[in-house]
Structure 1
Amino acid sequence: MLISSVSLSAILHGTLFTFGFQEAPLTAFHSGPQHSPYAMVLLPGLNEGPMALPWTTRIADAIAQRGWSTVQPTLSASFSGFGMSSLEYDTWELDMLMDHLVKLGKKHIMLVGHSTGNQQSLHYARFGKNRAPLVGCVLQAAMSDREWYVSAEPNHQKWIALARSMAAKNQSEEMMPRDAYSFGPVTVRRFLSLADKNGTDDMFSSDLTLEQRKAIYAPVQVKLAMILSGNDEYRPMTVQSELLLENARTAYPRFTVLKTIPGVDHAVTPVGGQIELVNTILSFMDTLDIPK
């Protein structure tokens, strides 16, 4: 199904609900056909939350025509909270979301990650305790936070050395200096996860060995799609998107879509690129092993 090229306003109608067992429950926004057994959970990147992506409404409207609802959670890691969170904590919260969605009648759930939301998606596909309803994941703009940081921060060696030193002194929950990381406040632990080699977030670096990449994908049991941006400003000039796609292909045989959208930035802001992105996600949905 091809989607319209007409510009869509950033408005979705739906239900805001709470989930989780904490004293202060988390929230998620549910739009589209809410009684459908099919749901897409959209996970954006660092410093982002619901409705952050320029193509949110476009993908939500497109999958609604196929009977899928859209769920946009606000996790502890959403917006500036990423620096105090972790992928393990994200997976714990996503487990609570999955439990809630199943109680709402959802039987088939797809995760669509953007940027660092890809680490959340892939970590959940690897370790989520309630991931039985998961049927697939889309990894959109799956860039290496580590390779970006090394290319963008001239003092990266200094800050990584400081973080390692603090971690060795049991100071992992202390905050890194303000100048160490431009995206926002970050603990030593999360900084090392994002910026150090073999950190928990280090899933998409071009220099990972085949054995490392296979180990990352080994626990995954669902089909995957990787959709990159041809002009991604967070990909170092020395790294080609074709290499990243080939690395994914050789690491995991159940990638059914591996594609670069030419001429678009990290967030896919051009309308033409958004249309191609959404149509690619719809094509990926056609490969999922679920009742039609």
Structure 2
Amino acid sequence: MKFNGTLHRYNDHHVAFEFEPTGLPNALIMIGGMTDGLTTVPYLANLPHVMEPLDYSVVQIQMKSSFIGWGTTSVKEDVEQIKQLIDYLKSSEGGNKNKIVIMGHSTGSQDVMQSLLSISDEVEAGILQASCSDRECFPLFASDDVVAELNSRAKKLLDEGKAEEMLPREFMAYTNNTPVTVYRWCSIMLPGGDDDFFSTDLPDDALTRTFGKISKPFLVAYSGADEFIPKEIDKPAVLKRWESFSNPKYWSKQSGVVAGASHGVKQPEAQKILYEKISQFFQEFSL
């Protein structure tokens, strides 16, 4: 598939792609998940046409964590690069964009959450799509014994002050052959890690510090047939709990389960539901 648009270099080493139609006054920054890079999120092809009537260009960011880089980075490092892109897009070179909204797919939702908690003054709003827990999906691909053993070994190395060391090769069998640091593994796989925003067993105080602290409008579009969410999880109940900790001034009424949507929302009918939620979200808050 061919994509037309403008490739921007927003710092010395990374780029962002502005899909046609380009040059609109505002920008929706799209942040992919683990292993994603430019154009890999399935529903991106038609999203620019959804955003055009709202005067938003769609700009996908490439970061150090894109493709297989996620194993050696952090959500905080991602946010630093997102901030660099925001600054660039607001400059004359980047098009003098007025309003910036950020949207994350999968692990990109963790970046959106961290951004809303740390650089909220830079954005108008955030969208979390397929915001599932990496920690809770790991047992779908490994036995409880394997999960316990690998987590124990990683935690021991973390406690020994070896956070930036690379984990042994056997860990890569569960990371799509991606090299992973001790820190990133523990951040994703251990309760309370820096990436652990969306696990359904988080205590109330954890949600108070995350959802409860968001001070900009946000939409949660939870994939209804997400293959990375254990089947026993009650998705509407999860959303209801997140909403209960959120300020009703900022929780979008469009938040909800996207019926029939896989993790990447590959289904055309599910994509239409997602696009409609996004459009109504922008209208709801006059973004």
Residues 89-100 of structure 1 aligned to structure 2 (within 5 Å)? 89-100=77-88
Residues 1-292 of structure 1 aligned to structure 2 (within 5 Å)? 10-20=1-11, 24-103=12-91, 104-128=95-119, 131-154=120-143, 155-180=146-171, 181-183=174-176, 184-253=178-247, 254-256=250-252, 257-290=254-287
Query: Secondary structure of the residue that 1:113 maps to in structure 2?
Result: strand
Question: How far apart in 2 are the matches of 1:32 and 1:287?
Answer: 25
Question: How far apart in 1 are the matches of 2:10 and 2:13?
Answer: 6
Question: How far apart in 2 are the matches of 1:230 and 1:76?
Answer: 30
The match for 1:6 is none
Q: Is the 8 A contact 2:255 2:277 kept in 1?
A: no
Q: Is the 8 A contact 2:134 2:189 kept in 1?
A: yes
TM-score by length of 2: 0.91
Q: How many residues align?
A: 276
- Counterpart residue identity of residue 233, structure 2: V
What is the Cα deviation at residue 182 of structure 1?
A: 2.6
Question: How far apart in 2 are the matches of 1:219 and 1:262?
Answer: 28
Question: How far apart in 2 are the matches of 1:102 and 1:258?
Answer: 28
Deviations 1:119-160 (A, max 9, x none): 0111111112xx434111111111011111134321111111
- Counterpart residue identity of residue 113, structure 2: L
Q: Is the 8 A contact 1:135 1:289 kept in 2?
A: no
- Counterpart residue identity of residue 217, structure 2: K
Query: Secondary structure of the residue that 1:286 maps to in structure 2?
Result: helix
Query: Secondary structure of the residue that 1:45 maps to in structure 2?
Result: coil
More helix as a share of residues = 2
Question: How far apart in 1 are the matches of 2:44 and 2:186?
Answer: 30
Deviations 1:243-291 (A, max 9, x none): 220121012122112211222211111111111111111111112244x
Query: Secondary structure of the residue that 2:113 maps to in structure 1?
Result: helix
Question: How far apart in 1 are the matches of 2:15 and 2:228?
Answer: 30
TM-score by length of 1: 0.90
Identity of paired residues, percent?
Answer: 26
Q: Is the 8 A contact 1:107 1:133 kept in 2?
A: no
- Residues 11 and 67 of structure 1: is their aligned pair in 2 closer, same or farther, counting only changes over 3 Å? farther
- Counterpart residue identity of residue 55, structure 2: G
What 5-or-longer segments of structure 2 have no aligned partner?
none
Question: How far apart in 1 are the matches of 2:212 and 2:241?
Answer: 14
More displaced stretch, 180-189 vs 160-169? 180-189
- Over the aligned positions, Cα root-mean-square deviation in angstroms equals 1.5
What is the Cα deviation at residue 219 of structure 1?
A: 3.8
What is the Cα deviation at residue 218 of structure 1?
A: 4.0
Query: Secondary structure of the residue that 1:236 maps to in structure 2?
Result: coil
Deviations 1:45-96 (A, max 9, x none): 1000111111101111211233210111110000000001101110111111
Question: How far apart in 1 are the matches of 2:27 and 2:208?
Answer: 28
Question: How far apart in 2 are the matches of 1:36 and 1:60?
Answer: 11
What 5-or-longer segments of structure 1 have no aligned partner?
1-9
Question: How far apart in 2 are the matches of 1:11 and 1:285?
Answer: 28
Question: How far apart in 1 are the matches of 2:71 and 2:198?
Answer: 19
